[in-house]
A and B are shown apart, each in its own frame.
Chain A
Amino acid sequence: MVFTTQIFVFYFLPLFLLVYYSLPFHRRNVWITLGSYIFYGWWEPWFACLMLFTTVLDFVWGKVITRPGATRVQRKFAVLACVVTNLSFLGFFKYYMFAAETLNEMLAVVGAHQFRVLQVVLPIGISFYTFHSLTYIIDLYRGHATPAKSFSMFSAFVALFPDLVAGPIIRYKTLAAQLHEREHTVSRFASGVAIFIVGFAKKILLANPCGLVADAVFNAANPCALDAWVGALAYAFQIYFDFCGYSDMAVGLGRMLGFEFLKNFDAPYRSESITDLWRRWHISLSSVLRDYLYIALGGNRKGEGRTYFNLIVVMLLGGLWHGAKWNFVLWGAFHGLLLAAERWRGKRSFYDALPRPGRIALTFLLMLFSWVLFRADNLTAATEYFRAMLGLDAVGSVAPLLGAMIYTPYHLLILALCAVLLFQPLQAHDWAQSGVTWVRTALVVPLFVLSLTAMFSQAFNPFLYFQF
């Protein structure tokens, strides 16, 4: 189920809340699990079976790791087995086809016989719930968390529908106490409603129209340089409002259920360097990669050279986590190299001497280039797009028609609005979270009605991060 669909807003959510608040507290986690499985299985019922299987497995491994009297070797074996099992599922569903097709391409180069590639369907959100489970197991092993008291509590943590399919990635230790005991207050519920509406509006009113512009340009043959830049800009806006909107909705829904999730975005396009950017973009992923991968690799404790190497490896794997394509690997490498370069300069960018607007503009420009890698269908398409941005290719004969598609008053208005909202200091999430007043109520209610009516009229309503 997707948050911005009628089935979720008008059927699932009211029914879920009605049952949730009708139950005594000790039954609510069970209902969260049941409801979340319905939410998740709505795409494809067998996805839910797969999630249940890995959840049971991880719960059992957790018990093995924390079993009284377990030796260090036993605990190490258990955590390794669990990590390998989870990553094997993720690897098979997400990376098998990529690996097999790459191997086939290599075999074709040497003229060897190619093998048949199975068509594997990627279960939505598998990257997210695998990370949820892994943080639990690794935290247990490190002694940073205590084991879940019951299976219902653990399954509620893994399946919790607000953050299930596109994050934020919430660690067990963050949520454990809340699963055990949380406060359901009017002010928390109301602020959850406000944040949900803000996220909903970001997605429907801003991300979707930007997506139409981005898709038109990225799918076009030989666009002119101006159109290519506008397309990249539209994609930068789309991916931010899409993902940030989804995270806001997740945070808002969490609050409606009494949970406190951390903010996942902090005005990332106002970053002054790439290092700064990764403190503000998809914060939950950055911190998981830092705590569970970068530090595990040795972090910055093994000398300068190893630190740069670790940064690049972490970003390469972070790129690959987003998708099984060479584009994502390159995207990760690009960010890894920039992070390593800034680390070499003492966490300062190469353009550190510029005034703040210049630093923000250059960071955004670097991000814009990296989004082309992220959005293009493959490396060839990305290369063609870069060439179009730099005006290196002849413009196609039909390219002038693209202008009619993208420079409409509607799209220009939305792009301008996005630019203003992105680069001004007040963040909608903070605004909505800082208490519900009459003024805020008077603003968010019409915003919700407008977003709903826009949702009714939109045929284009993808969630970009579902594919990751």
Chain B
Amino acid sequence: MHRLRNPQWILILIFLGIIASVPLIQIVIESRQDDGVRVFEVFSQAPTAANLRAYERGLETANWAAGLSRPWIHFAQFEWLEDGGEKAMFGQAGWYFYKPGLNYMLARHQSAKAPGDTNDPIAAIVDFRDQLAARGIHLLVMPVPNKESIYPDRLTLRATPLSGVMAPRTREVLDMLRAANVEVIDLFNEYGEARRQTRSTPEDSLYLAQDTHWSPAGVDLAAKAVARRLEELGWAQPGQVDYSGRSAHVQRLGDILRMMQVPMIERRMDPETVPCVQMVRSDNGELYKDAPTAEILVLGDSFMRIYQQDEPTAAGFIAHLAKELKQPLISLVNDGGGSTLVRQELRARPAFLKNRKVVLWEFVERDIGLGLEGWRLVPLPQGFGG
């Protein structure tokens, strides 16, 4: 007992107690489950660097102490120190921003990659355009600006209000695409003009405050710009199907907050009320639906999914564009995969190209630098086309 009166013994016991109890409790927890005890897996695999890294990651992910404490420390940092961890950035007046997107914006200028590089957006887009052209299909590209490109002043007071910014790499890519005669929708300009002309009420905001995505107002503006451009190019004529708008409000907790994976933050924050407009066919009152016979194929990422496949449904960009063009469209959407994955999906489902005249390809600005799987050249199968 006299040892317990000695601070040296107490410090040693507490230290050893902490470092030994965490793995011991982990072993007890896992031994009660069917999957086996993870720590012993090291003996059942070859000791290669890759196996050891995977084993270590597995232990870290499964650690009960980490699982228990991580949300609390994230919550404390979020609540008291306005720190959103790896994913979120605090902006002004309840706005949040996606940190990896901001990292892309700020990154030091990098020259375009060498020809043939598997991560060169210019090469991938031009190659895709040429493959489609060989099948008689036009390509219209639509990079959606990062939220901070349009609303830098909602991120930091140092930015000039109502003046958008463009990342050096984005500017370079857009210039090179134009030089390569790729048709590009310039939403940077459209949104910039819209911000200057409209009041700054929440309804007018082109992006959601807590989310990486655009608002219904942003959707509507983009759809109008695309429809206008398609008609100017003569690639699409107004169809015969009338759609009318139907108001539908949804409650949405922004994906930036959800990506932090901290239940306390999700409980603590009020969801945004988003005033959506669902598109309804005027002739039969049905909500907008894709049509397999459509002339226009839309490829894209979660910007194509929001309000369209998510609630309230039929209120996203695709439905709005259908209204503007008076015709249903067909779409292929891959969350986070606007750069390469959606084209790989198209290759796997070549029937999506049959009888199409136009492909509209949407990806978010940050994917220029951060796209999943980079920017691979994706050869399309022969024999399908418009």
Contact = CB atoms under 8 A, between A and B. Distances in A.
Given A396-B168, A408-B90, A436-B8, A7 B59 contact: yes
A193 B15 contact: yes
Most A CB within 10 A of own CB, among B16, B19, B20, B70: B19
A10 B22 contact: yes
A43 B53 CA distance: 8
B11 A219 contact: no
Interface string B59-85: 110010110011011100100111101
Nearest to B154: A404
B372 interface: no
A186 interface: yes
A457 B106 contact: no
Interface in A1-30: 5-7, 9-11, 13-14, 17
Interface stretch (A107-115, A165-173, A310-318, A441-449): A441-449
B105 interface: yes
Contact of B7 (A14, A381, A437, A452): A437
B10 to A, nearest CB: 6
B106 A216 contact: yes
A456 B66 contact: yes
Contacts of B148: 401
A329 interface: no
Contact of B48 (A45, A197, A408): A45
Contacts of B97: 404
Q: How large is the interface on A (under 10, 10 to 19, 20 to 34, 35 or more residues)?
A: 35 or more
A88 to B, nearest CB: 25
A445 to B, nearest CB: 5
Contact of B82 (A193, A408, A453): A408
A186 B10 CA distance: 11
B112 to A, nearest CB: 15
Given A221-B108, A408-B83, A456-B70, A398 B15 contact: no
B156 interface: yes
A177 B47 CA distance: 35
B109 to A, nearest CB: 5
**Which of A6, A220, A459 has the most C-beta atoms of chain B within 10 angstroms of its own C-beta?**
A6
Nearest to B87: A459
Interface in A363-404: 381, 396-404
Nearest to B78: A410
Contacts of A187: 8
A444 B152 CA distance: 42
B23 A14 contact: yes
Nearest to A194: B11
A455 B356 CA distance: 52
Nearest to A223: B106
A398 B155 contact: no
B86 interface: yes
Nearest to A191: B8
Contacts of B14: 441, 445
A236 B14 CA distance: 33
Contacts of B156: 400-401, 403-404
B155 A401 contact: yes
A397 B86 CA distance: 24
A444 B11 contact: yes
B296 interface: no
Interface string A390-434: 000000111111111100111101000000000000000000000
Q: Most A CB atoms within 10 A — which of B11, B16, B19, B165? A: B11
A437 B11 CA distance: 9
A440 B107 CA distance: 44
B36 to A, nearest CB: 16
B81 A409 contact: yes
Contacts of A400: 152, 156, 158-160, 165
A125 B273 CA distance: 55
Contact of B11 (A10, A221, A411, A445): A445
Given A17-B16, A397-B165, A410-B81, A405 B106 contact: yes
Nearest to B91: A404
Interface string B1-21: 000001111111011101110
Given A441-B14, A457-B69, 14 more contacts: A14-B19, A189-B12, A190-B7, A398-B166, A398-B167, A400-B152, A403-B156, A409-B83, A441-B10, A444-B11, A445-B11, A445-B14, A453-B73, A454-B73
